[in-house]
Amino acid sequence: MKHTLSVLVENKPGVLTRVAGLFARRGFNIESLVVGQSENPNMSRMTITIDAAEHPIDQVTKQLHKLINVVKIRDLDPESMVARELALVRLSAEDATKRAEAMQLAELFKAQVVDVDRKSLVLEITTTPDQLASFTKLLQPLGIVELVRTGTVAIGRGRG
Amino acid sequence: MSPQQRISGAHAIIQALKDEGCDVIFGFPGGVVIPFYDALFDSDLRHVLVRHEQGAAHAAEGYARATGKVGVCVATSGPGATNLVTGIADAYLDSIPMVAITGQVKADLIGTDAFQEADTTGITLPIVKHSYLVTEPHELPQIIHEAFHIASTGRPGPVLIDIPVTAALAEFAYEKATTLDLPGYRPTMRGHTKQLRAAAKALTESLRPVLYVGGGVISSGAAEEVFELATRLQIPVTTTLMAMGAFPETHPLSLGMLGMHGTAYANWAVHESDLLIAVGTRFDDRVTGKLSAFAPHATKIHIDIDPAEIGKNVEPRIPVVGDAKLVLRGILTELEDLELQPGLTADWLERVEKWRAAHPLKYDAKGGEIAPQYVVEQIREVTGGDCIITTDVGQHQMWACQYFKYTEPRQFISSGGLGTMGFGLPAAIGAQIGCPERQVIDIAGDGGFQMTMQELGTAMAYEVPIVVAILNNRFLGMVRQWQELFWKGRYSYTDIAVQPDFAKIAEAYGAFGATVTAKDEVADTLRAAIKDPRPAVIDFVVRREESVYPMVPSGATITEMIGGAPSKRGKS
């Protein structure tokens, strides 16, 4: 089962290595890990997406808590969180039919064209992980040259 | 020291160590720690120069395990730091408070493969409770203050501080650190009242309870509470290797050690119990054997300060997160409000006594050769049980657990989780320096002794009057035993009969040395070694192919116990 952890950490050197290393040592596969400054300049917030099919999630959250620089962990409830991911997709644009189809899809998914030349175009999309999956799947036959994803960031809904 | 005074980082380290109450450090110099050693030259902080950095780490552990205080070791960058690694890992596995200080190359050379550069914080990442790479020299006092706090509180463990030589040379105004800012570190000390109440209630209802006590009881100083709980409710007590002496083994309620080489009666009692109270322990595989068959009829109460231990191996009915001493005190208080039924466990204790009588620890004392177990018994006899024992790892370690009756916490010092050969001698030196008034005896194997025997030089230099009792079977005995039992007797590379004359090695160092081959010389030689003011090594030439029994094979259930397994359980 997929879990989205929101982890508040002290902004100290080595903290990313400590967190990432822990997942590896305890046998968890990280699907994505995003880290950036939080509302407090001394703290960073990580959004970690993991597949906890083989191990119970509470063992990893307890182990994470043992890291001195980890301040707070939330296992976000998929029903009450907002999750977003940004992706940049470079498509081959030499075939006019495919290009038109790509533009249509972009419009449908509210993606922006951020770069274009004779051979290729780059789309930017910010959406939910599910939507992104469908978007890239639909673009696939149109010739994805390069795909760059930020990984998921997520926040709890309401005040939860 | 006035806050305005500017001092070097090296002097600041020493001042900060003293501010933390540190009175001795164990170390070995090298290139990038010369500024630190130069500052040490005029300092009143005691430094013990070892002969190999691994010795520094184990000596710091021995000191910490014997005194309960934080052990400190120091090494230079690169190989100095990597030589500490085994000792740091050992402290991590056994939750021993340690601060390891390593030198690092100049800050601007980090990452260039400079001479004696190693990524020490990277290498030690999985085996430390926390670590620092000092980038701002003026933060040294604060970092050392935090390191001591983290190492010694909650579930104790090693903290590493890697200090580039540039930080040791930098000058700044020293300010004593007095506050902590660790928002992510707040160990839970007191158990949840609801859980304490549930535990107390279960205790009053149990007909067949067993207390299963681990190293957490030693580190939290909860031996008194264990004793009170056990004697008040008449509960038999078994301890892990990490907790020998947490409950006096001379007491009728003591079952000795449990697990792979535990007593048959401890293992049977756990197996048949209806309530298992696990305190400061982690259901290690050497204790449980096959997990699914461990204490199958018991409701489990698991008390531990580390929430990650609860549910890791065994899902307890009543989990209690907190410090063992405070939690047990809380349970004892809750018990005051409950009605106790006197004699509730009387039938159970009678049954346990039957197991004890039917399957005592025993060995073959006949014949001219010295039985290794006999040496352990004689050490107890000669010292009256009043000494600190350290060990290496292997058969002798198990015999030291089985045949010496420990009566107080911190009396038995051994490498439990990591199982580090070569631990015993340097740990004995550290323990002796921490407890100068005690007699310290290292019960060693001939294999392990050869891994760190250069520390005899340290013992000589500081006139540390330890006694090393080598149980010498000319084998890597525990592996040999496994080969005998499970590998068709194919003794692949475990015969180490080619070895030096250990007594002569001791004499070459100027220490007391003796070789004992006759049973009737065991006690007298021990007495002579203890009486001699010098460090001593006694080479006890023991029966070669003696095995440790009973034994629950790895991953097996206790019904498969070899030597001491009564197949008639139940109503026996």
Which of B125, B135, B307 has its CB closest to that of A62? B307
Contact with chain B for residue A158, Cβ under 8 A: no
Segment B250-270 mean pLDDT:
96
Mark yes or no for CB contact A68/B126 under 8 Å.
no
For the record, the structure tokens of B345 come out as 């466990």
Whether the CB-CB separation of B218 and B241 falls below 8 Å is answered with no
Q: Look up the CATH number of the domain holding residue A54.
A: 3.30.70.260
pLDDT in tens, A9-18: 999 988 999 9
Same domain, B466 and B515: yes
Segment B304-331 mean pLDDT:
96
Same domain, B218 and B74: no
- Confidence grade of residue B571 (pLDDT, cut at 50, 70, 90): very low
Contact with chain B for residue A21, Cβ under 8 A: yes
pLDDT value of residue B515? 98
Residues of chain B above pLDDT 70, percent: 98
Same domain, B234 and B148: no
Whether the CB-CB separation of B457 and B410 falls below 8 Å is answered with no
Side-chain half-sphere CA neighbours of B34 within 13 A: 5
pLDDT in tens, B111-122: 999 999 999 999
Same domain, A64 and A121: no
Query: B549 lies in a domain?
Result: no
For the record, the structure tokens of B490 come out as 């194919």
Whether the CB-CB separation of B297 and B272 falls below 8 Å is answered with yes
The DSSP call for residue B69 is S
Segment A12-40 mean pLDDT:
91
What total number of domains does chain B contain? Answer: 3
Angstrom CA distances, B216 to B89, B96, B240, B402, stand at: 18, 10, 10, 21
Q: Give the domain range for residue B299.
A: 193-358
Segment A137-152 mean pLDDT:
94
For the record, the structure tokens of B86 come out as 């085994």
- In chain B, residues with a C-beta closer than 8 Å to the C-beta of A18 are 125
Contact with chain A for residue B21, Cβ under 8 A: no
Whether the CB-CB separation of A111 and A53 falls below 8 Å is answered with no
Angstrom CA distances, B239 to A49, B146, B270, B318, stand at: 41, 32, 11, 20
pLDDT value of residue A13? 86
Instruction: Give the 3-state secondary structure percentages of chain B, helix then strand then coil, rounded to 5.
Output: 45, 15, 40
pLDDT value of residue A5? 95
State pTM to two decimals.
0.95
- In chain A, residues with a C-beta closer than 8 Å to the C-beta of B182 are 68
pLDDT value of residue A26? 82
Residue ranges of alpha helices (H) inside B134-187 are: 140-152, 165-169
For the record, the structure tokens of B187 come out as 């160990």
Q: How far is B278 from chain A (nearest CA, A)?
A: 19
Residue of A nearest to B310 (CA): A59
Contact with chain A for residue B317, Cβ under 8 A: no
For the record, the structure tokens of B339 come out as 């009605």
pLDDT in tens, A47-64: 999 987 767 788 889 999
Which of A14, A21, A59 has its CB closest to that of B126? A21
φ, ψ (nearest 5 deg) of residue B489: 70, 20
Contact with chain B for residue A10, Cβ under 8 A: yes
Same domain, A62 and A86: no
Coil, strand, or helix at residue A100? helix
Side-chain half-sphere CA neighbours of B39 within 13 A: 20
Query: B35 lies in a domain?
Result: yes
Contact with chain B for residue A70, Cβ under 8 A: yes
Same domain, A14 and A65: yes
Q: Is the ipTM of this complex over 0.85?
A: yes
Q: How far is A99 from chain B (nearest CA, A)?
A: 47
Contact with chain A for residue B126, Cβ under 8 A: yes
Q: Look up the CATH number of the domain holding residue B484.
A: 3.40.50.970
Residue of B nearest to A12 (CA): B132
Segment B314-332 mean pLDDT:
97
Query: B179 lies in a domain?
Result: no
Q: Give the domain range for residue A146.
A: 82-156
pLDDT value of residue A28? 84
Same domain, B153 and B249: no
Query: B570 lies in a domain?
Result: no
- Report, in angstroms and rounded to the nearest whole number, the Rg of chain B calculated over CA atoms: 24
Lowest-confidence pick of B45-49, B101-105, B210-214, B364-368: B364-368
pLDDT value of residue B504? 98
Same domain, B63 and B130: yes
Mark yes or no for CB contact A68/B130 under 8 Å.
yes
Segment B61-81 mean pLDDT:
98
pLDDT in tens, A82-121: 999 999 999 998 888 988 999 999 999 999 999 998 889 9
Whether the CB-CB separation of B242 and B94 falls below 8 Å is answered with yes
Render B341-401 in DSSP notation, one character per residue.
-TTTTHHHHHHHHHHHHHS-------SSSBPHHHHHHHHHHHHTT-SEEEE-SSHHHHHHH
Residue of A nearest to B155 (CA): A66
Domain end marker among A54, A76, A98:
A76
Q: How far is B6 from chain A (nearest CA, A)?
A: 27
